[in-house]
Amino acid sequence: VTQPIETWLAEKKRLVDETLERSLPPADTPPATIHAAMRYSVLAGGKRIRPVLAIAAAEACGADATPFLQQLSALELIHTYSLIHDDLPAIDNDDLRRGRATSHVVFGEAMAILAGDALLTEAFSWLSHPAAGVDPKDQLRAVAVVAQAADSRGMVGGQVADIEAERNHGGGMDLLRFIHENKTGRLLTASLLLGGILAGADEKKLAALEQYGRSVGLAFQIVDDLLDTEESAEVLGKTAGKDAAQGKLTWPGLVGAEAARREVARLLDTALGSADIIGGPKNYLGALGRYICGRRN
Amino acid sequence: VTQPIETWLAEKKRLVDETLERSLPPADTPPATIHAAMRYSVLAGGKRIRPVLAIAAAEACGADATPFLQQLSALELIHTYSLIHDDLPAIDNDDLRRGRATSHVVFGEAMAILAGDALLTEAFSWLSHPAAGVDPKDQLRAVAVVAQAADSRGMVGGQVADIEAERNHGGGMDLLRFIHENKTGRLLTASLLLGGILAGADEKKLAALEQYGRSVGLAFQIVDDLLDTEESAEVLGKTAGKDAAQGKLTWPGLVGAEAARREVARLLDTALGSADIIGGPKNYLGALGRYICGRRN
């Protein structure tokens, strides 16, 4: 690798931001309210970690991701829809996200529900838009991988388990692992596979990307748990200390902060091993894993 | 055509019902609540008109739809998700649908939101599942057609316009046409295109299917408006007379019941012309159009 990870990250984030801005329906497309609501939440900033991981996977597998940036950016639409719906009064009832008022606070509950629905649907429109130079068979497989990761046995299932754990005030490590692996882990893993599949990677590299994704995905969520206890709302751009206040199941809550940090280190090691298997001259996966595990917001 | 339309319809509806029952995740798949909620709403009955239209399109274009029944049945998941979300307290606040308590009444609001999300996602999982004998390029196109029909410039956009029209207590024929064409018309049209594309139909036949879909789609919705004023909740399986009570924009409300019936007849004529263009020995599109325009629930 030839650039510092911060430079590489900033450049890729900019590409994703530009793609989102350009590819979302303009705010004056009728009906204007829904398009304003979609753009409000997607263009609120955010780390764009899922599309960036997908770009890293594609580049590590030897492809230029430029021809399929729109397909990779669809991951951010799915992530954003899940945040809008999670924040709803009937679910987490949160009114601050990415440092801004949440969708239902600004646009009302009905429009927030529909903006989430529209973003999820738009994501599959982008994912199925033919990508230049990609075998349609591979692209169809990629669409299926993302759909399965986001469905009731994946991301939505993780969210359901999270809600039920909160209502039941408890659960142990098995349940927490199920929640983390599904609520965040599955879509993060699918992001790497999406990049790899569109890059035409072979099955051995795809298996390594999947292993990398599982490790970084779980580490990402444990770091999130740690940050909630350690950082302010100002740094996080969302309500802080909420997990403990709600008696929420978290990794440091179950095993303590020290053991949680050791688990992050162990997962990072596994991820670095998988990144090495993929190899290649433009492989930022290792640096990206280190960055994610060391982040402060 | 060799069967009475009622026999043909009952047989196709049974195939769709079996496919839905078999392809949805079992009710005990963890987390069990979400899978129970998904199955509750999808397996509540319903006319299965979208998958049935897709089967009719595929058969009219000379294909046996059996190898891609799961892909066509995905349309019913999208339709059902839209009903679950429309019925939510924040949107239409309806507690009766298909003769049963709505999802949020039975499972609570959070689970109803997530069951809708899961069904929409599951639909794209089914749509992108490789169909035997279908060119992946055609299937990818079919996924895109369905996604675009359901997005913020299609079905969701129609729902948004409907909500805004109700809040503003008014609007004229242009607005009502926008609502009907998008809220129901786009997904019905996409159903026909999905069947045609997976059947490998040529562009001329696809254009005729699109024309047929637009006509039958609008007629379907005008008939719905007429039935709301004429039939009981017992026959409809949902709250009746609600449109007028809410001062909702409807076709008979704007032009009167007589003119609305004439418009249905005119649209049926157009649809029959399109069905004739497609031709073929197993073409039930004409009979199906007559059935839809003459239905009593």
Q: B150 CB near a chain A CB, below 8 Å? A: yes
- Per residue, the 3-state secondary structure of chain B, as one string, reads CCCCHHHHHHHHHHHHHHHHHHHCCCCCCCCHHHHHHHHHHHCCCCCCHHHHHHHHHHHHCCCCCHHHHHHHHHHHHHHHHHHHHHCCCCCCCCCEECCEECHHHHHCHHHHHHHHHHHHHHHHHHHCCCCCCCCHHHHHHHHHHHHHHHCCCCHHHHHHHHHHHHHCCCCCHHHHHHHHHHHHHHHHHHHHHHHHHHCCCCHHHHHHHHHHHHHHHHHHHHHHHHHHHHCCHHHHCCCCCHHHHCCCCCHHHHHCHHHHHHHHHHHHHHHHHHHHHHCCCCCCHHHHHHHHHHCCC
Residue A244 has pLDDT above 80, yes or no: no
* B191, B57 contact by CB (below 8 A): yes
Question: Most A CBs within 10 Å: which of B128, B129, B141, as the mutation test of the A interface?
Answer: B128
Residue A246 has pLDDT above 80, yes or no: no
Q: Which residue on chain B is closest to A152 by alpha carbon? A: B118
β-strand partners of A100: A97
A218-227 per-position pLDDT tens digit: 999 999 999 9
- CA–CA separation, A155 and B211 (whole Å): 38
Q: Model confidence at A239, in pLDDT bands (50, 70, 90)? A: low
Q: Model confidence at A235, in pLDDT bands (50, 70, 90)? A: low
Q: Model confidence at B248, in pLDDT bands (50, 70, 90)? A: confident
Residue B98 has pLDDT above 90, yes or no: no
B44-95 per-position pLDDT tens digit: 989 999 999 999 999 999 999 999 999 999 999 999 999 999 999 999 999 9
Chain A contacts of B150, Cβ < 8 Å? Answer: 121
**pLDDT > 70 fraction of chain B, expressed in percent and rounded:** 95
Q: Do A124 and B114 touch (CB under 8 A)?
A: no
Angle at A63 between CA A59 and CA A65, to 5 degrees: 75
- In eight-state DSSP terms, residue A225 is H
Average pLDDT, chain B: 94
Across A244-270, average pLDDT: 91
**pLDDT > 90 fraction of chain B, expressed in percent and rounded:** 87
Strands of chain A (E only): list them.
96-97, 100-101
- CA–CA separation, B95 and B73 (whole Å): 25
- What per-residue confidence (pLDDT) applies to B76? 98
Q: How many residues does chain A have?
A: 297
Q: A25 CB near a chain B CB, below 8 Å? A: yes
- What per-residue confidence (pLDDT) applies to A238? 64
* B169, B30 contact by CB (below 8 A): no
Across B120-139, average pLDDT: 98
- What per-residue confidence (pLDDT) applies to A236? 61
> Closest by alpha carbon to A227, among A246, A247, A244, A215?
A244
- Taking the CA of residue B138 and the nearest CA in chain A, the distance in Å comes to 9
- What per-residue confidence (pLDDT) applies to B228? 86
Q: In chain B, how long is the greatest CA-to-CA distance?
A: 52
- In eight-state DSSP terms, residue A181 is I
> Closest by alpha carbon to A253, among A162, A170, A186, A164?
A170
SS3 A97: strand
Of A7-21, A37-51, A236-250, B239-253, the one with minimum mean pLDDT is A236-250
Q: How many residues does chain B have?
A: 297
- What per-residue confidence (pLDDT) applies to B237? 64
Across B23-37, average pLDDT: 97
- CA–CA separation, B252 and B230 (whole Å): 11
- Taking the CA of residue B179 and the nearest CA in chain A, the distance in Å comes to 10
Across B179-183, average pLDDT: 97
CA B92 vs CA A106, B45, B180: distances in Å:
20, 21, 16
- What per-residue confidence (pLDDT) applies to A169? 81
Q: Do A152 and B121 touch (CB under 8 A)?
A: yes
A109-154 per-position pLDDT tens digit: 999 999 999 999 999 999 999 999 999 999 999 999 999 999 999 9
- In eight-state DSSP terms, residue A92 is T
Question: Most A CBs within 10 Å: which of B38, B83, B145, B156, as the mutation test of the A interface?
Answer: B156
* B89, B96 contact by CB (below 8 A): no
- CA–CA separation, B200 and A227 (whole Å): 53
Q: What is the ipTM of this complex?
A: 0.95
Residues in contact with A16: Cβ distance below 8 Å, sequence separation at least 6, in sequence order: A48, A51, A52, A55, A69, A72, A73, A76
Residues in contact with B91: Cβ distance below 8 Å, sequence separation at least 6, in sequence order: A110, A113, A114, B85, B159, B163
A160-210 per-position pLDDT tens digit: 999 999 888 878 999 999 999 999 999 999 999 999 999 999 999 999 999
Residue A285 has pLDDT above 70, yes or no: yes
A76-101 per-position pLDDT tens digit: 999 999 999 999 999 999 999 988 99
Chain B contacts of A148, Cβ < 8 Å? Answer: 125
Of B14-18, B154-158, B166-170, B275-279, the one with minimum mean pLDDT is B166-170
Residue B234 vs residue A95, higher pLDDT? A95
Chain B contacts of A32, Cβ < 8 Å? Answer: none
Report CA torsion sign: B2, B13, A122, B129.
Answer: negative
Give the B window 119-148 contacts with A, CB below 8 Å.
Answer: 120-122, 124-125, 128-130, 135-137, 139-141, 143-144, 147-148
